[in-house]
Chains A and B, each alone.
Chain A
């Protein structure tokens, strides 16, 4: 077990390193001078040189990358002549646009993205697993066909389209919900939830479709297993069978799927945030790409990539912990 753990952690660290190198390299080695982007259009050649030196862009590429990693782990100092800016670890540099440290930009927006994603995930889990089990238990009925239809819709529809339809119905026609604007949970929990209902539903429908599919397959598989047949033969009530066994069969694949699907969830969340104008990390990503704010782009991509890689490693471990059949070698 220990050996398995260390190996998995080492592999994860290796993947993270490779990923950071790719992301960093991709954006700093691209055509176009980062110093020009950082300094703005009206910078003279002298100011450009100062900026270039301050950001360390006059150094060799591998040194730049090394300082970038150093900044991530231990923080780094940016000096231009007399004044020194200290950027505490994990340092991702300063935004070209607002001169704010990228790390604090990300942290500021984290609560919004977390509220959106966690709420939607919870909703998707309940709705998706419920619908998946229901359609497995009511095979051949109208209910099953209905659920299959909705699932297909959730699969093939982009989240912003669902969001638009929800806005149209609940916000423009029925006028029961406001156009979402983020209210922090700590300020007013009721308004926080009321404003997030539409984004939650839009994001959850996409994920629920996926959960429903695997939950259905898991339920069907479990119900066909020998031990369930034995329980039934002994007269265990159908209710018990569903509660004790089918539910477990439905939930097991969903747990790992959540981690595997995190990349998709991040992308959908990004689209949801842009569509509803929620000031989360996804919206930051979109804004930073329109203004070619390199440090922010690198920061967001790295953060999302890291989340995905860690979630996948965690899913592997979780899977191994839940299912004794998985070999830890």
Chain B
């Protein structure tokens, strides 16, 4: 495709048909499809968490101390962390809470926070990026620097600090999502800004401007659709990223508060039990790993499907 073709294509806006093709390509991509199925299953398990635990006959907060071996410091009795017909994935060392119930309820926190944070990041990032890219030189000089600082800052450190000082009355998962958003919108804003700058001088944008469209309308109706592709790829990558962020915050003890289960928290507890109860490391850890790999593979598939020419790595 020559440069002229690209320009022409951009002018006639072939977006709908191209995206239809992308969807077909995504479904034809075997690893992406497998990842998509896995992601779907995980989401389903998270949504149906109360149902699944009811089916198992357990709940995530009841202590079962008689299942623990007090002579060995509270390690679950039985093999593999006490896996049995009653406790499908065993029980937690020290407390005896049901691991399966905690894991599926933890998935709600992980996926919910990650998705919410991703959506919020998109909204903030796009708004600031569009303002910087289309708002003129002065605004861009300020916002451009703000974006730079936001990207350069060690995000988890700032999120950790934010979690420490915000009022504690707000529901914890909401706070976690907000803290993650507050420190991670930078790269979405950067991509939006760069794309908006390259699109704003296109002919179709000029045409809209000459036709008397207002700046807001130009930003939302003319520029934003042109940003869809890179932003979709970025958003797909952001979800696993935010799962890691949530797990990291919980791991450091700044995530959701204890009776609410979360994977990061379980992993944090498991650092004290890894020698006596390896199953308690492997189950939440393995689940987190599978989830992240599935989301990453899916994101990779989205990138390939939307832009078949970019065969990077």
Interface residues of A (CB under 8 A from B): 15, 18-19, 22, 26-27, 30-32, 148, 152-153, 155-158, 160-161, 164-165, 167-168, 171-173, 213, 216-217, 263-264, 266-267, 270-271, 274-275, 285-286, 288-290, 292, 294, 297, 300-301, 304-305, 308-309, 312
Contacts and interface: CB of A to CB of B under 8 A. Distances in A.
A148 B296 CA distance: 13
Contacts of B293: 152-153, 156
B254 A289 contact: yes
Contact of A161 (B153, B267, B296): B267
Contact of A289 (B164, B244, B248, B289): B164
A300 B157 contact: yes
Contact of B154 (A168, A266, A274): A266
A274 B247 contact: no
Contact of B267 (A19, A160, A173): A160
Contacts of A173: 278
**Looking at chain B, what size class is its interface with the partner chain?**
35 or more
B252 A172 contact: no
B248 A297 contact: no
B313 A217 contact: yes
A152 B268 CA distance: 23
Given A274-B252, A308-B152, A285 B296 contact: no
Contacts of A158: 244, 247-248, 251, 288, 292
List the 9 shortest-distance A-B pairs measured between CB atoms, nearest first: A289-B164, A156-B292, A267-B156, A156-B296, A266-B154, A30-B165, A263-B154, A172-B275, A158-B244
Output the residue of B165, B167, B240, B267 with the most chain A CB within 10 A. Answer: B165
Interface residues of chain B: helix, strand, loop or mixed (majority): helix
B160 interface: yes
10 contacts: A18-B149, A31-B165, A152-B293, A156-B293, A156-B295, A167-B274, A217-B312, A289-B161, A289-B164, A301-B154
Contacts of B154: 263-264, 266-267, 270, 301, 304-305, 308
Contacts of A267: 154-157, 248
A32 B165 contact: yes
Nearest to A286: B252
A263 B275 contact: no
A171 B272 CA distance: 13
A168 B152 contact: no
Contact of A157 (B162, B164, B278, B292): B292
Contacts of B288: 158, 161
B285 interface: yes
B184 to A, nearest CB: 11
A267 B164 CA distance: 17
Nearest to B150: A22
Interface string B134-173: 0000000000010011011111111011111111000000
